[in-house]
């Protein structure tokens, strides 16, 4: 029988939180072979193959169907898979990796607190500066969909690989679309979130992809795993209360 492949983050805080969450569900995830290797297994679930993948590439693995399951942020799925609604199944919210994708503008723009007001300044801005306001972001598709749904097209995206919050003060862009958890980094960089500028409230999820080959046996194993993780997430929520 072929195995159920699960991609989990290969490093950093997301990997630790994933491992902890499995432990609370009574599942021990460990590496197979060399400690620096990228294969693992789950004690007690011999049908599952674990692949350690960099969290940004988990979306790509789900998109192509090279894994059955993956743990990553909703933001990365929405950004990288345009037909996520049909291709990807959201199996379980995992209660960590919280991050909001937001539209943030300089706090000194006391004249702008909604997307409608942002739209108002776009044409005067262009009249004066000869170009549209620039939006720095790594969430190009999410940004385009969000503004598109509001009928706003008078802006220019600047791709930003990192330290996006610094783009307005350094003059690289006028505003940003980025993730934030507490808003502290935004405030430190002189930025505020628009009143209607929260695009997505994201957290880590267990995702399944329809692009992979599924058998009834694999589906059953997937349900078992999802059930265990779900009870672990519920317990965490209760203990927090």
Residues that bind other proteins (CB under 8 A): 106-114, 116-117, 120-121, 123-125, 128-132, 144, 147, 151, 153-157, 168-169, 171, 174, 190, 195
Output 52 or 152, the one with its CB closest to other proteins.
Answer: 152
Output the smallest distance, CB 215 to other proteins, in A: 35
Output the smallest distance, CB 165 to other proteins, in A: 11
Output the smallest distance, CB 180 to other proteins, in A: 17
Reduced to 3 states, what is the DSSP secondary structure of residue 191? strand
How far apart CA 176 and CA 8 sit, in angstroms, is: 29
Output 52 or 109, the one with its CB closest to other proteins.
Answer: 109
**Are 136 and 173 contacting, i.e. CB atoms less than 8 angstroms apart?**
yes
How far apart CA 35 and CA 155 sit, in angstroms, is: 47
CB neighbours of residue 158 within 10 Å: 16
Output 74 or 165, the one with its CB closest to other proteins.
Answer: 165
Output 13 or 129, the one with its CB closest to other proteins.
Answer: 129
User: Which parts of 10-87 are beta strand (E)?
Assistant: 29-31, 39-42, 45-53, 69-73
**Are 79 and 142 contacting, i.e. CB atoms less than 8 angstroms apart?**
yes
Output the smallest distance, CB 116 to other proteins, in A: 6
């Amino acid at each position: 029988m072929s195995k159920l492949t699960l991609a989990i983050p290969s490093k950093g805080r997301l990997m630790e939180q994933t491992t902890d969450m499995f432990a609370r569900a009574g599942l021990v995830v460990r590496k197979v072979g060399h400690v620096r290797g990228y294969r693992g297994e789950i004690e007690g679930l011999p049908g599952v193959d674990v692949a350690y993948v960099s969290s940004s590439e988990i979306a790509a693995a789900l998109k192509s169907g090279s894994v059955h399951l993956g743990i990553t942020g909703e933001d990365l799925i929405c950004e990288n898979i345009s037909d996520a609604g049909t291709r990807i199944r959201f199996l379980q919210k995992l209660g960590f990796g919280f991050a909001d994708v937001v539209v943030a503008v300089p706090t000194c723009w006391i004249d702008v607190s909604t997307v409608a007001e942002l739209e108002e300044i776009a044409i005067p801005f262009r009249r004066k500066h000869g170009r549209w306001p620039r939006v720095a972001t790594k969430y190009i598709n999410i940004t385009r969909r969000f503004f598109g749904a509001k009928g706003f097209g008078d802006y220019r995206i600047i791709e930003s690989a990192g330290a996006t919050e610094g783009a307005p003060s350094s003059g690289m862009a006028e505003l940003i679309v980025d993730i934030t958890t507490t808003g502290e980094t935004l405030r430190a960089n002189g930025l505020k979130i628009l009143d209607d500028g929260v695009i997505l409230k994201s957290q880590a999820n267990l995702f399944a992809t329809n692009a992979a080959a599924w058998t009834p046996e694999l589906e059953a194993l997937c349900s078992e795993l999802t059930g265990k993780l779900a009870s672990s997430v519920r317990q965490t929520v209760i203990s927090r209360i």
